[in-house]
A and B are shown apart, each in its own frame.
Chain A
Amino acid sequence: MKLHEYQAKDIFAEAGIPVPESRLASSVDEVMEAVEDIGYPAAIKAQVHVGGRGKAGGIKIAMDEDEARQAAEDILGMDLKGYTVEKVLVEAGVDFENELYVGVTMDRSAGKPVAMVSTEGGVNIEEVAEENPDAIAREHIDPAFGLHPYQARKLVFDAGIPRDVAFDVASFLSTLYDLYEANDASDIEINPVMITSDRDVVAADAVMNIDDDALFRHEDLAAMEEDSYEDDLEAKAGEYGFDYVRLSGNVGIIGNGAGLVMTTLDLVDYFGGTPANFLDIGGGAKAERVANALDMVFSDENVDSVVFNIFGGITRGDEVAKGINEALESFDEIPKPVVVRLAGTNAEEGMEILNTELVQVEGTLEDAVQRAVENAQEVSQ
């Protein structure tokens, strides 16, 4: 789960990390009220879950009232990489001399959290990581003990942080790691941390993503989730609780397990078709969930045919078959041809239950995908 910048900054500020004065606004009038309080220069920043907001025109600096109004009109309601901007953060501009990067994330190869500091903040840190990895100082963290103070000091000295602010940045980093751990963050980053002309350190941006699997123990964070989806179908998938990604093709795909669903996508492509979506019903799905999945894929108007690929382990073939029947029997006419391939746990029981007047059945993965691709080609002609 992603937090917005304003939400992350509230959490940072509460923990003692300095952030610029700011107000949240969702209309031009609210923006004008906010700049009146905060003064100029002011940054107007779109609150949407996309990277590279600045480059895409989602962040503007206003030096006076006219510019603030113009920025508010431009940004509110704008489409930013598929997301509509509904809120902006109006923030006091910071007069800075240096921009730093600090972050904590999980290094999956090492199986440990890693803290990172760089003096090359304010730009695309991923580019820095790729082109000049030595410009980022890194320390692995023992999750049993947390970030030792000596490690935070080592990081700032290794990164070449100016001496007069080095200890401030180190303590900043310790707080950041504590927040990372306490909130089950998957990553937490500030880019840039600004060093002001008065030699204060300020968090000018804030990224905080929470491990979805840990949300059960963070009700406060879960309540902060603001749904935003690229389209109605992804919103619907969110309601149903599916792992769903909409793609541009016309073969609808439903399966169990991310690896097998991805393989089904790959095979659709291999046999000359184009996948319309990735939809994983997950492990152990019951009939209702299966019916919801079919509803989901049928509501995509680009879908010309559907392939169900289930290899049961913890998922049981009879439950899947029940769900397919339920979903299809509710139609007077099946909207698009459905191919089913059922294997594994209780597959035989499933095949007995399955209403084969409503679906086409194929025994192998390859045959099922090939047939679905042919169906799609016929329907789209």
Chain B
Amino acid sequence: MSIFVDDDTRVVVQGITGGEGRFHTQQMMEYGTNVVAGAVPGKGGQEVEGVPVYDTVSEAVEEEDANASVVFVPPAFAADAIFEALDTDLDLVVAITEGVPTQDMAKVNKRLEEVDTRLIGPNCPGIITPGEAKLGILPGNIFEEGNVGLVSRSGTLTYQVVSNLTERGIGQTTAIGIGGDPIIGTSFVDALEAFENDPDTHAVVMCGEIGGEDEEQAAKFIAENMDTPVAGFIAGRTAPPGKRMGHAGAIVSGSGTGTAESKISALNDAGVPVGDTPNEVADHIEDFL
């Protein structure tokens, strides 16, 4: 089994005619993902990689029965594209776009309360159920079918940890990059809850980083609600206080919350071993299985 996506997922790609949209549509299809449509205003009637393009998402849903979308729309129009997707009762929207203004995402976040659609991202690598479907930009060849779930705030760190798992023959049920922006759709807790309810997921990796309090909240959830064992990794132990490390919203306030130490100790208190290196995370997972 898997969470959120499988081989029944029928994908519409928003922004399919752009450079990234086109390249990754091809990559997703090569992986075996069911890409059934593209949606780009004004480009209806075209074809990309043999996929029909519609002017609106609702047309793509009506004509091709899409139930999920992947957003490759530039930042200035990304929130609007997400709103459009949320208005069509899709099950899932995956927003890859980096650099969506935070106040736009606050409005999207408000809309999410009113619909049944799940949003993953923005500024994320997407989601993959190995052997079935990938929605996003993750390099498919490093993943393998198996029984470990993975949820991460960082895209490239996801790839790193997955390759450490795959190299020793540990496959994955589903891997999700939730994105590191201040406001995101699916949280650690949402993903952990879904993994807990998936009988095929026997262990979970959770990769966090400095900034925010999401990992602390996840630790609380794990302690109170999870039987499935979880191993963790936290990036940014050496980040100097007060410096912003990149785009990830990774800000250490220096006041004791949001630091690597506070996240690691919250996870340890919840019974979650935290690796010093990505390889050590794989060691812990190996011990669980």
Contacts and interface: CB of A to CB of B under 8 A. Distances in A.
Contacts of A345: 139
Among B20, B236, B279, the one with the most A-chain Cβ atoms within 10 Å of its Cβ is: B236
B1 interface: no
Given A312-B139, A344-B159, A270 B277 contact: yes
A227 interface: no
Contact of B154 (A109, A260, A314, A366): A260
B101 interface: yes
Contact of B160 (A260, A269, A280, A314): A260
Contact of B139 (A258, A313, A365): A313
Contact of B247 (A112, A282, A343): A282
B283 to A, nearest CB: 12
Contacts of A380: none
B76 A184 contact: no
Contact of A144 (B107, B137, B154): B107
A284 B235 CA distance: 21
Given A282-B247, A283-B98, A313-B159, A144 B139 contact: no
Contacts of A280: 245-247
Contacts of A258: 154, 180, 209, 235, 245-248, 250
Interface string B135-158: 001110010000000001111110
A312 B96 CA distance: 15
Contacts, number: 172
Interface stretch (A31-39, A150-158, A211-219): A211-219
Nearest to A218: B101
Given A143-B103, A213-B75, A314-B20, A257 B240 contact: no
B32 interface: no
Interface string B95-111: 01011111111110110
A261 interface: yes
A263 B160 contact: yes
Given A258-B250, A259-B207, A111 B106 contact: yes
Highest count of chain A CB atoms <10 Å: which of B138, B245, B278: B245
A265 B246 CA distance: 13
Nearest to B276: A270
Contacts of B102: 106, 184, 186, 211, 213-214
A106 B243 CA distance: 19
A267 interface: yes
11 contacts: A111-B110, A144-B110, A184-B102, A213-B75, A243-B246, A247-B240, A255-B156, A259-B154, A259-B157, A259-B207, A262-B210
Interface of B: 20, 24, 75-76, 96, 98-107, 109-110, 125, 137-139, 142, 152-157, 159-160, 163, 180, 182-183, 207, 209-210, 212-214, 217, 233, 235-240, 243-250, 253, 255, 276-279
Interface of A: 106, 108-109, 111-113, 126, 130, 142-144, 181, 184, 186, 211, 213-214, 216-217, 243, 245, 247, 255-263, 265-270, 275, 278, 280, 282-284, 311-314, 343-345, 364-366
Question: Nearest 6 CB-CB pairs, A to B?
Answer: A259-B154, A257-B156, A258-B246, A260-B156, A258-B248, A214-B101
